[in-house]
Amino acid sequence: MRFTLLSMIHKALRSALSDDIIAAQQLEFNHQNALSNYLSTATAHLDILHIHAELEDEILWPLVKENGGELVRKLETDHVKDAELIEQCRAALRKLENSTSAEDFTQNQIALIWEFSELLAFNLMHMNIEEQQIHPLLWEKYDDMELQKTLGLMAGKSPKELFMPTLALFKKSCSHTELSNWYNSIPKEAPIKGMVAEQLGFAQVN
């Protein structure tokens, strides 16, 4: 079995966007704490998705441009559409936050559920294509060690404030084996190693 570079982050994103829809369905007007928590979690999820697409464009696609030019162009176009859908979700979050009455809130809530559903539906198919078609192209040209290094490079370029929310998503949406393999692939000297050990409950060997 070859290394599937996109597996963990895609599991995290499926889980994040599904959770955002379910949690949105349960929100109530004037329950301020629940709404604030929802807004910050959903915003972090949108940020994680947006950065992930940018890192694919910047780091991953150049690796397969030679043997997958047409596919790369399709995925880049998908990412433009994705950015638009993400902006629509952000606008829906702002509208919900600024609801002026219970009725207004209910209308904004259903509109937000539709926006997040569209984003999820689009990304479910988009991620399928990436996993089904990008992984084989990467495997043709690179060994697993090189691909693990590429993943490390992508993680290193992700904003620090998104690390903890991403880790929380990994924890809830990936298998123990996958988490353990990932943890073991992080170099001992990497600053995140201790944090990952603590959050995922792995014993750190010094």
What sections of the chain are H helices per DSSP?
A: 7-25, 32-55, 61-64, 69-97, 102-129, 135-141, 144-157, 163-173, 176-185, 192-200
What is the rounded distance in angstroms from the CA atom of residue 54 to the CA atom of residue 132?
A: 20
Using alpha carbons, select from 120, 164, 113 the residue that is nearest to residue 16.
Answer: 120
Give min distance, CB of 60 to Fe ion, in A.
9
Give min distance, CB of 168 to Fe ion, in A.
21
Per the CB < 8 A criterion, the answer to whether 158 and 51 are in contact is yes
Q: What is the CA radius of gyration of the chain?
A: 18
Give min distance, CB of 78 to Fe ion, in A.
7
Tokens of 98: 């600024």
Burial 164-180 (b: 16+ CB within 10 A, else e): ebbbbbbeebbeeeebe
Give the binding site for Fe ion (CB under 5 A): 53, 56
Give min distance, CB of 57 to Fe ion, in A.
8
Instruction: Name which of 16 and 53 has its Cβ closer to Fe ion.
Output: 53
Instruction: Name which of 53 and 63 has its Cβ closer to Fe ion.
Output: 53
Collapsing DSSP states into helix, strand and coil, what is residue 158? coil
Instruction: Name which of 38 and 126 has its Cβ closer to Fe ion.
Output: 126
Instruction: Name which of 78 and 115 has its Cβ closer to Fe ion.
Output: 78
**What burial class does residue 115 get, using C-beta atoms within 10 Å of its C-beta: 0-12 exposed, 13-18 middle, 19+ buried?**
buried
Give min distance, CB of 54 to Fe ion, in A.
10
Instruction: Name which of 38 and 170 has its Cβ closer to Fe ion.
Output: 170
Give min distance, CB of 88 to Fe ion, in A.
17
Instruction: Name which of 51 and 186 has its Cβ closer to Fe ion.
Output: 51
